[in-house]
Amino acid sequence: MALELFQNDPYLRACEAVVTGSDRKGRWFTIDQTVFYPMGGGQPGDSGVAFRADDSEFEIADTRRDPSTGDIQHFVKRIADLPEPGAQLHLEINWERRYLHMRMHSCLHLICSAIPGKVTGAQIREGRGRVDFDVRYPRERHHLEESLNALIQQDARRIIRIYTPQDLENNPTLVQNLSIKPPEGVEKIRMVHFEDLDIQPCSGTHVAHSGEIGEVRITKIESKGRRNRRISVCLVDTEVDTNI
């Protein structure tokens, strides 16, 4: 199982690694440690570049976690680029893309603190995202947008805390996501805490302070079923297609 360097420091952009395995079909490889975040929790997997010992390079198009083994699989853009087990690599993530994911993932956490409802789904893209809530009547868009930007401007510090399953059982309100449950059969659960604003189980990557998110705009609030309401949001300083 790879050492997940992004868990302790989401700002790491590169690392050295040794290839530990590969796919028989030539699609992906695994390594002993990685800075590449695997798709999960609504956040896309990282992309980037890998360099061999001879300085030749190849693209990593996507990163995913094997649901049966937990291994992090790095998908190559071309099958011909698949490195052999034992090969030494230098890996670099697409930092601009990752940082947009970090800002938006953090933004969705703060939306959770602004809306009194359980989360039923979420999706993150570069500079935009959406989160679904099990609520009947959300606040008006401009009021929610003002409240969310006010929370961001508090520049709350992000802290990683470790809880036990018993801690969550004793505090069920900490589990806000109805569609993604905390992992079972583990002794420790990673909690992302933006001081005085939000705390919930999450394995994603986030900014160190909420102020890094920057100004955001609520682009749409729509009904998805009898009770579900979808909140779509984008970062103001990025030019993106807000249809998500």
Q: What is the pLDDT of residues 94-106, one digit of tens each?
A: 999 999 999 999 9
Is the CATH number 1.10.3720.10 carried by domain 98-235?
A: no
pLDDT at 178: 62
Cα 223 to Cα 196: distance, rounded to the nearest angstrom: 30
Average pLDDT for the chain? 92
- pLDDT higher than threshold 60 for residue 207: yes
Domain boundaries, the chain: 3-93, 98-235
For residue 161, the model assigns a pLDDT of 94
Tell me what percent of the residues of the chain surpass a pLDDT of 70: 93
pTM: 0.93
Structure tokens, 104: 């938006």
Tens of pLDDT, residues 50-94: 999 999 999 999 999 999 999 999 999 998 889 999 999 999 999
Residue 135: predicted pLDDT: 85
| pLDDT > 50? residue 244 | no
Q: Which of 2.40.30.130, 1.10.10.10, 2.40.50.100, 3.40.50.1820 is the CATH number of 3-93?
A: 2.40.30.130
